[in-house]
Amino acid sequence: MALIKITNLKKQYTSGDDTVEALRGVDISIEKGEFITIMGQSGSGKSTLLSVLGGMNHPSAGEVEMAGVKLYHLPGEKLADFRAQNLGFVFQSFHLISYLTAIENVMLPLAIVKTSTAAKKSAARQALEQVGLGAKLDRLPNQLSGGEQERVAIARAIVNNPHILLADEPTGNLDSKTSDEVMALFRTLNDAGQTVVMVTHNPDNGRYADRTITLKDGMVV
Amino acid sequence: MKLHTISINNLKRRKAKMAFLTIGLMVGIATIVTLVTLTRSMSSDIERKMDEFGANILITPQSNGLAMNYGGISLGGVTFDQREILEEDLARIKTITNHKNISAVAPKVLGGIKIGSHDVLLVGVNFESELKMKQWWQIFGHEPKAENDLLLGSDASRVLNVSSGDSLTIKGETFTVAGVLDQTGSQDDALVFASLPKAQKLLGKEGKITLAEVAALCSGCPIGDMVTQIAEKLPDAKVSAIQQVVEGRLKALDQFKRFSYAMAGVVVFIGSLIVFVTMMGSVNERTTEIGVFRAIGFRKSHIMRIILLEAALVSLLAGFLGYAVGMGGAKLALPFMAESKNAVLAWDTSIAFGSIALALTLGLLASLYPALHASKMDPTEALRAL
């Protein structure tokens, strides 16, 4: 059974009299442990697809089923709880919290989890070691390079052992060498069993993935 | 890492913003503390000064007579069944519920007496309480201290042709004029004052008094209640409030309070506005951050807790500082604001706790909408890219 099942997904944005169809009936199935890259030109709908997959953007029509749960059927704040327990996000601009150190940023998803601070610290340290930043735990984001910030963002995304790791243009702000290092890191995580869904428009990133889904005008091509 | 770690770290590492917010609220709280403390201190100063202007409760013997005077001209009176108050009964005044509000009790015995060829009205008083109550009296000479010392009104001194240091013989007994009063424009000018026991003896009214004046001091004190309480203790006496004094006093205090509350209201409004605008600005600045919190699974209530905890911490600090600065301001301003040099700063723990509670309430209320606004942010919009 597929880990993620997207069926006839549609998303429309209305602005005044204009209606934009960002997604026009997308059907995708992703297996557990797969590394998927979603590619397409600007405006093809790939970021919208990722936000819908992340449980942050209600679709106009269709279903998103993850680990047997119909995401948009969850009541109230259960969707937030689902994100906290099952999803990890890596954002394009890292979006680290400027006033928190590397380890505090990584511990952020655990702030709402009822467990001891020692256990949270241990998990965060382990995640940072996994991305090769075990020596820079107490650095603030502005004391880290772009590549290091990306690694902290990845550590934050994996600290709660999510079922699915969602990444939005994670190499968009990095040079080619650092991009390769970061993609290699994603590959390593995937090799260890982590399901990865990544939006990118860099064709070179596709070689790290098991499969590439290409979107055009809101549809899979 | 807990939610409060986020709030504390944000405040610790964004010192300038925190300082601005704290100062904004602190200025509001300090102004209120200064205003309220100044008003209280000034009120008690005015109250004390007003008490110096004389009595506000009069105790006279119960009589079934009708006074026959109009515009200060006495046409005599029809009085029957005249009673007098026993001096020892006055001690009962000190047992009323509001006895702490009584500043002075000045008993008097009155009676006509002949000095040389002149008929004069002799008033026996307790000089200590009389002088405490009539602080406007200007005495030429010195205050009466010995049992046979007299104090003369200006007209009495002129008519009897004596001045301070001279001797007077009343009923064969020699008295010394210790002092003469400067003209007061009141009935005091025509009176001869002697010590209460001596006057009682001269008038043949030992142990009795004709009337007693009572000075009650307090802010908006229950004069009506005190009149009732004294009347219950002295059933044979007629106890009445001198309404003009009481009402004037209350009106002055009321005006001060209203001014203070109006100013406090304006400052509270401005303080709230500062907190609201700053918190709103802070929330808008942290849009992306809040988007990240929501994306990684924080509930709306978690976001609200982070924002409100920050507001509470800043408000508490502003409350403490506001109280300290406000009291300092009041201490500096009091000598310039109060009428008398003896005005004392009113220290009150309720103001300390009140200012901290007010800062907290104000900070939380003003941050409620920004916190709600933050919690309702659409994470996709907040992160833009996703």
Give B339-360 as a DSSP string.
SSTT------HHHHHHHHHHHH
Best of A100, A106, A117, A166 to disrupt the B interface by mutation (most B CBs within 10 Å)? A100
pLDDT tens, position by position, A28-49: 999 999 999 999 988 888 888 9
Of A47, A120, A140, the CB nearest to B1: A120
Considering only residues 7 to 66 of chain B, which have any Cβ-Cβ distance to chain A shorter than 8 Å? 9-10, 12-14
pLDDT tens, position by position, B225-250: 888 888 888 888 888 877 566 566 66
% of chain B residues with pLDDT over 90:
20
Q: B150 pLDDT exceeds 90?
A: yes
Q: Which residues of A touch B (CB under 8 A)?
A: 47, 50-51, 54, 56-57, 77, 80-85, 87, 89, 91-93, 95, 97-100, 104, 107-112, 117, 120-121, 124, 140, 156, 168-169
Helix (H) or strand (E) holding B238: strand B237-241
% of chain B residues with pLDDT over 70:
84
Q: A200 pLDDT exceeds 80?
A: yes
pLDDT bracket for residue B53 (50, 70, 90): low
Q: What is the ipTM of this complex?
A: 0.90
pLDDT tens, position by position, B114-125: 888 888 999 999
Of B10, B295, B299, the CB nearest to A99: B10
Name the average pLDDT for chain B.
Answer: 82
Q: B218 pLDDT exceeds 70?
A: no
Distance CA B371, CA B306 (A): 8
* Chain B contact set for A115 (CB, 8 A): none
pLDDT at position B78 is: 47
CB contact under 8 A, B1 and A104: yes
* Chain B contact set for A156 (CB, 8 A): 296
* Chain B contact set for A82 (CB, 8 A): 297
pLDDT at position B383 is: 64
Integer CA distances (angstroms), B378 to B289, B296, B336, in order: 12, 13, 55
pLDDT tens, position by position, A74-96: 987 899 999 999 999 998 888 89
Distance CA B289, CA B291 (A): 5
* Chain B contact set for A74 (CB, 8 A): none
Average pLDDT over residues B247-276: 76
Mean pLDDT: which of B152-156, B271-275, B379-383 is highest? Answer: B152-156
Q: Which domains does chain A have, with CATH numbers?
A: 32-52+80-220 (3.40.50.300)
CB contact under 8 A, A56 and B9: no
pLDDT tens, position by position, A1-19: 788 999 999 999 888 888 8
Of B6, B294, B386, the CB nearest to A80: B294
CB contact under 8 A, A84 and B298: yes
Q: In angstroms, how far is the first alpha carbon of chain B from the final one? A: 26
Q: Which two tokens stand for residue B126?
A: 């307790």
Of B12, B14, B386, the CB nearest to A47: B386
Among A139, A197, A138, smallest CA distance to A169 is for A197
Of B10, B293, B385, the CB nearest to A91: B385
* Chain A contact set for B386 (CB, 8 A): 47, 50-51, 54, 56, 89, 91, 168
* pLDDT: which is higher, B261 or B123: B123
Q: Let me know: does B62 contact B240? Beta carbons within 8 Å.
A: no
CB contact under 8 A, B296 and A82: no
Of B5, B295, B383, the CB nearest to A111: B5
Angle at the Cα of A176 from the Cα atoms of A170 and A178, rounded to 5 degrees: 65
CB contact under 8 A, A97 and B289: yes
* B332 phi/psi in degrees, rounded to 5: -70, -40
Nearest CA in chain B to A97: B289
Helix (H) or strand (E) holding B124: strand B118-125
Average pLDDT over residues A199-214: 89
Give yes or no for B382 touching A (CB within 8 A): no
Q: B82 pLDDT exceeds 60?
A: no
Q: B349 pLDDT exceeds 70?
A: yes
Q: Let me know: does A12 contact A59? Beta carbons within 8 Å.
A: no
3-state secondary structure chain A: CCCEEEEEEEEEEEECCEEEEEEEEEEEEECCCCEEEEEECCCCCHHHHHHHHCCCCCCCEEEEEECCEEHHHCCCCHHHHHHHHHEEEECCCCCCCCCCCHHHHHHHHHHHCCCCHHHHHHHHHHHHHHCCCCCCCCCCHHHCCHHHHHHHHHHHHHCCCCCEEEEECCCCCCCHHHHHHHHHHHHHHHHCCCEEEEECCCHHHHHHCCEEEEEECCEEC
* Chain B contact set for A93 (CB, 8 A): 385
Q: Which two tokens stand for residue A70?
A: 């119909």
